[in-house]
Amino acid sequence: MILTCPTCRTRYQADSAHFHSPGRNVRCAKCGETWFQAAPEAEGQTEPEPVIAPPALEPSAAAADFGESAASESSPLNFGAGEAADEAPMRRLQRAERSWAVRLAQGAGWVVLFVLIGAIGWSIVQYRLTIASLWPQSASFYAMIGMPVNVRGIALTNIAYRQEYQDGQPVLSVTGKVVNVSNKEQPVPEIRVVLLDDAKHELYQWTFDAGIPTLKPGGEGAFVTRLSSPPAEARNLDVRFAEAGDKR
């Protein structure tokens, strides 16, 4: 028997033995339309409607249409109740929901990643002094990115010098401030002054106690040191905190 989809008019060859009175639901394999197909009448009363062959087309078009038609004619009909006909739309809906869930999860993952990277970057900058104190090698990294870190926690600022005369003798006076740039109380080490010539060769150096035992966070203290009869060739000076291996 010949079945025709009422929606897309696709026609199917079906075995009438599958249709018992009064009939059953069938579904179009092409468009998914479901309809009730009545059982065929007894043989001999009605002749089946002949299948009219489609008109000839151009070779390329005919081949494409034939392939599509053959797929439609050979596609099996789905027999059963309306619930079975709704399975395909339900599967499509479930796939769409899963797809949205996957996209949402991926988007959330990227957001979490960006927030995590931002938090790490902020922490590296905000706590650079603590990081450099625990890992001194990181100080070179901070210096490279233009954010030098004072690992010692105290700094020398406002360095100035002038030459005076006392009792007819030249005296070099060096002044400045010691500042605690950390968040805890720091001891103040000795300060070292080095005199250099034009070629940056060391001419003379001395170390002195600034007279400031410790500084509280944010605290500062002034210092002054003097040298009588400094070398006449001295053109530059270097003032820094004394290290353990410095000569005295």
Q: What is the pLDDT of residues 199-242, one digit of tens each?
A: 999 999 999 999 999 999 999 999 999 999 999 899 899 999 99
Is this model's pTM higher than 0.75 or not? no
| 2 Cβ contact list (under 8 Å, min separation 6) | 11, 12, 13, 14, 48, 49, 51
What 3-state class would DSSP assign to 65?
helix
Tens of pLDDT, residues 16-55:
777 778 888 888 888 888 888 888 876 544 555 555 555 5
In the CATH scheme, what architecture does the domain 154-241 have? Answer: Sandwich (2.60)
Q: Per-residue pLDDT averaged across 152-181, rounded?
A: 91
Task: Out of 66-70, 145-149, 158-162, 220-224, pick the least confident.
Answer: 66-70
The CATH 2.60.40.10 domain(s) of the chain lie at: 154-241
φ, ψ of residue 144 in degrees (nearest 5)? -65, -35
